[in-house]
């Protein structure tokens, strides 16, 4: 059969259709009852169950995984990148108290390689299923001459929902004296890879498959460790420690008005979260602080992962910059009432996450300081 002109130009529509025909099976594990229609339409359909919410607020985020992709290309390992992207997006909306509803992906490449496409989608599907998030659509673009051979780019968009009264707003609730809990990362997650690649591959002359004794792993495999999802943990914490508005008897001296039923919000024990992504501690924590408070993070208060010890010891990067570029082993920060800090910490550890008390909130001007 004569090859089609578009395929000769580098875009094989028939191959794309064949590869995409496997999507229903790959995405079955991500299905939620609110999803309408099938993948492949002009738009994904999701019927929000309004009966579950009094005032639902939709929360959205879009992101990529940066130059971590370069490690995937070098290792020819593509089944973790999709999970990285989903988990990163889940975490970004989790800090507002939102649960994820659905996710859409974009994949751009020069030439569509079926096994690469399948591995990436498997990563999306696996992470979406774990986060109870429907994968309802996406776009795959073949753009010959635009990408280097064997390379691609991915991005993702997530939409979640939170009850307006339960939406976290640290700028209104955080106060001096609150405690700061750090929850462990798996490694670099999806940030700092341009600097990390320069340190490991240019300065230290390592190859992606070089085995590093300190890591008990190859540097490539270490750098490909999947970005942790904190979304399910955040939901459990909010359910456990942040109570709903409660009906109560109003406190009034008027006999005529006594006994009137109203609502009085109980104080939330978990006040804010900060996802430690690009910008590290220095740029991310201030996003959830009031203007009159600082957070002080204390170095050495958590067990730093070997890869960060290696970067710190051999990278030649000043400490101030390290804590602004990398997560340094802390992927999510929770700001909680000091009175319940021990209980929150115990609960997080019971969910099989490593966590430590790493700092406190003090009077200031909306900054994060690492000391």
The band of 328, judged by pLDDT with boundaries at 50, 70 and 90, is very high
Q: Are 195 and 160 in contact (CB under 8 A)?
A: no
* pLDDT per residue as tens digits for the range 7-49: 767 777 777 777 776 677 777 788 888 999 777 778 889 999 9
The confidence score (pLDDT) of residue 337 equals 97
Q: Taking 70 as the threshold, does the pLDDT of residue 247 lie above it? A: no
Q: What is the mean pLDDT of residues 205-225?
A: 96
The CATH code for residues 170-241+267-370 is 3.90.650.10
Mean confidence (pLDDT) of the chain? 90
The confidence score (pLDDT) of residue 266 equals 54
The band of 149, judged by pLDDT with boundaries at 50, 70 and 90, is very high
**Closest among 177, 280, 188, 194 to 227, alpha carbons compared:** 188
* pLDDT per residue as tens digits for the range 337-369: 999 999 999 999 999 999 999 999 999 999 999
H or E segment to which residue 263 belongs: strand 261-264
The confidence score (pLDDT) of residue 259 equals 42
**Closest among 128, 155, 158 to 140, alpha carbons compared:** 155
- Alpha-carbon distance of 309 to 302, in angstroms, equals 12
Q: Are 107 and 117 in contact (CB under 8 A)?
A: yes
Dig out the tokens for 217 from the structure: 């792993």
Q: What is the mean pLDDT of residues 243-255?
A: 42
**φ, ψ dihedrals at 65, nearest 5°:** -115, 10
Q: Taking 60 as the threshold, does the pLDDT of residue 78 lie above it? A: yes
Dig out the tokens for 220 from the structure: 């490539």
The CATH code for residues 5-166 is 3.30.1330.10
| % of the chain beyond a pLDDT of 90 | 79
b/e per residue, 74-97, with b = 16+ CB within 10 A? bbeebbbbbbbbbbbbbbbbbbbb
User: Structural domain boundaries of the chain?
Assistant: 5-166, 170-241+267-370
Of 249 and 272, the one with more pLDDT:
272
The confidence score (pLDDT) of residue 325 equals 96
Q: Taking 80 as the threshold, does the pLDDT of residue 191 lie above it? A: yes
- Alpha-carbon distance of 122 to 82, in angstroms, equals 7
Exposure on the CB side of residue 258, measured as CA atoms within 13 A: 3
The confidence score (pLDDT) of residue 69 equals 97
């Amino acid at each position: 059969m004569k090859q089609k002109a578009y395929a000769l130009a580098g875009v094989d529509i028939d191959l794309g259709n064949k590869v995409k025909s496997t999507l229903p099976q790959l995405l079955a594990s991500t299905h939620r009852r609110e999803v309408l229609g099938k993948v492949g339409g002009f738009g994904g359909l999701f019927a929000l169950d309004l009966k579950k919410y009094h005032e639902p607020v939709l929360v959205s985020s879009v992101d990529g995984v940066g130059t971590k992709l370069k490690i995937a290309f070098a290792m020819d390992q593509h089944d973790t990148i999709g999970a990285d992207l989903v988990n990163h997006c889940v975490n970004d909306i989790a800090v507002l108290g939102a649960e994820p509803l659905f996710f859409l992906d974009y994949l751009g490449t020069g030439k569509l390689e079926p096994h690469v496409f399948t591995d990436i989608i498997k990563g999306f599907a696996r992470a979406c299923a774990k986060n109870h998030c429907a994968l309802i659509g996406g776009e795959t673009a073949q753009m010959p001459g635009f990408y280097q051979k064997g390379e691609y780019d991915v991005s993702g968009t997530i939409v979640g929902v939170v009850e307006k009264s339960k939406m976290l707003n640290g700028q209104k609730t955080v106060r001096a004296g609150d405690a700061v809990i750090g929850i462990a990362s798996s490694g670099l997650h999806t940030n700092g890879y341009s600097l990390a690649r320069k340190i490991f591959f240019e300065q230290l002359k390592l190859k992606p498959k070089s085995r590093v004794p300190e890591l008990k792993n190859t540097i490539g495999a270490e750098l490909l460790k999947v970005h942790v999802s904190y979304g399910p943990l955040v939901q459990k914490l909010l359910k456990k420690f942040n109570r709903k508005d409660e009906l109560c008897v109003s406190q009034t001296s008027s006999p005529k008005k006594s006994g009137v039923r109203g609502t009085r919000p109980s104080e939330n024990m978990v006040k804010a979260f900060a996802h430690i992504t690009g910008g590290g501690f220095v740029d991310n924590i201030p996003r959830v602080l009031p203007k009159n408070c600082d957070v002080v993070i204390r170095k050495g208060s958590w067990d730093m992962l070997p890869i960060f010890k290696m970067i710190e010891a051999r990278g030649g990067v000043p400490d101030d910059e390290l804590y602004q570029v990398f997560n340094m082993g802390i992927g999510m920060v929770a700001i909680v009432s000091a009175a319940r800090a021990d209980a929150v910490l115990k609960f997080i550890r019971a969910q099989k996450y490593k966590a430590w008390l790493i700092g406190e909130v003090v009077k200031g001007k909306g900054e994060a300081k690492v000391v």
